[in-house]
Structure 1
Amino acid sequence: MPPATDAVLLDVRHLTRIFGHGAREVRAVDDVSFTLRRGEIASVVGESGSGKSTLARVLLRLIRPTAGRIVFAGQDVTRLSRPGELRAYWRQVQAVFQDPFSSFNQFFPVRRVLERSLRLEGRLEAGERDRRVRWALERVALNPSEVMGKFAHELSGGERQRIMIARALVVRPKLLIADEPTTMVDASSRATILNLLLDLRDEYGMAILFITHDVSLASYVSDTLLVMHQGKVVEQGEAGRVTAHPQHPYTRQLFADAFSLSKGRSVAT
């Protein structure tokens, strides 16, 4: 696994997102700080309800933070609100979510799904759009001639998820936020997606924030681990160190439970 570069791409400082007020206040993300370097894969792990997906949506600027700062490629993007500013941000930061079927417009064929993402790039010639769509599909090991005319219901779950990754890749982002991308696919597709994330890091220097409840998958794919519990990052560090020598009691329990369940099981099963 090649090392990430030293250049910090994402710098998150004291990020907080609160829902509700008073006695009903929920700190879904609570004073979270971390950095992500170019070419680095960092996994955010934790149980359901730990704040992982809310963190992803705040970083994507789909939800406003309550407090804290998000600095991306040297620019403070915490308060971006104008459509043009957000489009420019989303050209560089893309996401893949857990359910590829709900993310896939049922009325559009694959070609149109990917071409709609290219609207973030402004006007492109038809030939350039076609070239970019074909490149993205080939990059996720799909034959463009076979899948471009298909609709969501004609594809397997693994194919749909790879098309969602292609939709993100088509704009050539610097950062990919992958929120539980392997949860709803079979074992073979899970291994394919994990290896694809590694390839994107290795070949293009893409930074990836991989969000998962499965610590075995996180350990397999990551340079760095961040462990979330009740909205807080309770432990973070180099993946091998955190896996072998967890310091926080929650981390120790999380890993003990996960590896006792998966003993003798490969990462793809």
Structure 2
Amino acid sequence: MLKLDDVTKEFRIGAFGGKSVAAVRNVSFEVVPGEVVSLIGESGSGKSTIGRMILGLNPVTRGSITFDGLPVRAGKEYYRRIQGIFQDPFSSFNPVFKADRVFAMIKDTYYPAVPAAEWAGRIETSLRDVRLNPGQVLGKYPHQLSGGQLQRLLIARALLLDIKLLVADEITSMLDASTRIDVLNLLAELKTRGLGVLYITHDLSLGNYLAERTVVLRRGSVAEMGPTERVFGDPLHPYTRELLSAVPRLHEPWDDAPPAGACLYHRNGGTGVLFEASPGHFVACAGLSDC
């Protein structure tokens, strides 16, 4: 469904744009229908840049992103099949309009011929699918709703378009614990309907909870990727091991992260080269000369 092939994104920097910096380097992975893929990494690793390229908000410098075999082209028909939800739900709503205006915009753009009564029924069904009571959210201004309600409103908006892929960028980071679980369970339920989800997060525990496959980014490049149980259960890259060792454990003192160890793949190639350590489990050379 979605395929990234050797994708690189460079940004111009400097007073006259004479220099460039690579935010994403040679990234390749896929998302198939009914699958959640976690894109994990620390702040500045390139996660959100990848999400923005998939959504057509930033152009690709090199490589390609295709959806159902066709190149990404931002526009009405593309957004009928792919939608994004971002970290701050309040930024997605105009504070002077009631929250249900997002549904009116969908109707005006994609379904102008649908009768009003039928559209109202579709909205109600979509809201109940995300466990919202229409009477409690429709007609309200954004400041009258919680962050969790607004996030679910945005998911309901996406469901009205019958999308095939959802790019969820840090969508739970501003939510309290109970609401966070509600949203994650909703995403897990939606994938059973065939929806593909790219779940962008820096929270390893949430990625482990939700995703079938995990892609670990380090400085814009893929450090490790594969089935989630292998990446978390048998991390091979030093950076992945550092990330996992930094997760607080309630039953143990939270000391400094232990040494990550040497890169097992340094002798096999240069930095950034991916090797298949086991079927479907890929790890990059860490570029450590002492191994």
Q: TM-score, normalised on structure 2? A: 0.81
Query: Is residue 17 of structure 1 aligned with residue 33 of structure 2?
Result: no
Query: Is residue 175 of structure 1 aligned with residue 168 of structure 2?
Result: no
Quote how far apart the aligned CAs of 1:76 are: 2.2
Amino acid in structure 1 at the alignment position of 2:175: V
State which of 21, 26, 29 in structure 2 corresponds to 1:31: 26
Amino acid in structure 1 at the alignment position of 2:235: P
Secondary structure (helix, strand or coil) at the match of 1:235 reads strand
C-alpha spacing 1:255/1:43, structure 2 compared with 1 (3 Å): same
| CA–CA distance in structure 1, aligned partners of residues 28 and 9 of structure 2 | 13
In the other structure, the counterpart of 2:66 is 71
State which of 78, 94, 98 in structure 1 corresponds to 2:87: 98
| CA–CA distance in structure 2, aligned partners of residues 145 and 208 of structure 1 | 29
State which of 190, 193, 198 in structure 2 corresponds to 1:200: 190
Higher Rg of the two aligned structures: 2
In the other structure, the counterpart of 2:282 is none
Amino acid in structure 2 at the alignment position of 1:89: Y
Q: TM-score, normalised on structure 1? A: 0.88
C-alpha spacing 1:247/1:119, structure 2 compared with 1 (3 Å): farther
Cα deviation 1:181-225 (Å, max 9, x = unaligned): 0000111110000000000001x1100000000011000000000
Secondary structure (helix, strand or coil) at the match of 2:29 reads strand
Secondary structure (helix, strand or coil) at the match of 2:155 reads helix
| CA–CA distance in structure 1, aligned partners of residues 249 and 124 of structure 2 | 38
Q: Gapped runs of 5+ residues in structure 2?
A: 252-291
Quote how far apart the aligned CAs of 1:159 are: 1.2
Amino acid in structure 2 at the alignment position of 1:146: Q
In the other structure, the counterpart of 2:55 is 60
Cα deviation 1:225-254 (Å, max 9, x = unaligned): 000111111111000000000111111101
In the other structure, the counterpart of 1:146 is 136
State which of 202, 216, 221 in structure 2 corresponds to 1:232: 221
Amino acid in structure 1 at the alignment position of 2:86: F
| CA–CA distance in structure 2, aligned partners of residues 94 and 128 of structure 1 | 23
In the other structure, the counterpart of 1:6 is none
| CA–CA distance in structure 1, aligned partners of residues 108 and 6 of structure 2 | 33
Q: Gapped runs of 5+ residues in structure 1?
A: 1-8, 265-269
Deviates more, 1:225-234 or 1:164-173: 164-173
C-alpha spacing 1:237/1:135, structure 2 compared with 1 (3 Å): same
In the other structure, the counterpart of 2:175 is 185
| CA–CA distance in structure 2, aligned partners of residues 61 and 102 of structure 1 | 19
RMSD of aligned alpha carbons: 1.7
| CA–CA distance in structure 2, aligned partners of residues 140 and 262 of structure 1 | 32
Amino acid in structure 2 at the alignment position of 1:216: S
Amino acid in structure 2 at the alignment position of 1:48: S
**Of the two structures, which has the highest relative contact order with CA contacts closer than 8 Å and spacing of 6 or more?**
1
In the other structure, the counterpart of 2:77 is 88
Deviates more, 1:54-63 or 1:137-146: 137-146
Quote how far apart the aligned CAs of 1:23 are: 7.6
Quote how far apart the aligned CAs of 1:262 are: 4.4
Amino acid in structure 2 at the alignment position of 1:178: A
**For the Cα contact (< 8 Å) 1:90–1:120, is it kept in 2?**
no
In the other structure, the counterpart of 1:4 is none
Amino acid in structure 2 at the alignment position of 1:181: I
**How much identity, in percent, do the aligned residues show?**
44
Number of aligned pairs? 248
| CA–CA distance in structure 2, aligned partners of residues 27 and 118 of structure 1 | 39
Query: Is residue 162 of structure 1 aligned with residue 152 of structure 2?
Result: yes
More helix by share: 1
Amino acid in structure 1 at the alignment position of 2:35: E
| CA–CA distance in structure 1, aligned partners of residues 32 and 80 of structure 2 | 18
| CA–CA distance in structure 2, aligned partners of residues 127 and 92 of structure 1 | 24
Secondary structure (helix, strand or coil) at the match of 1:20 reads strand
In the other structure, the counterpart of 1:130 is 120
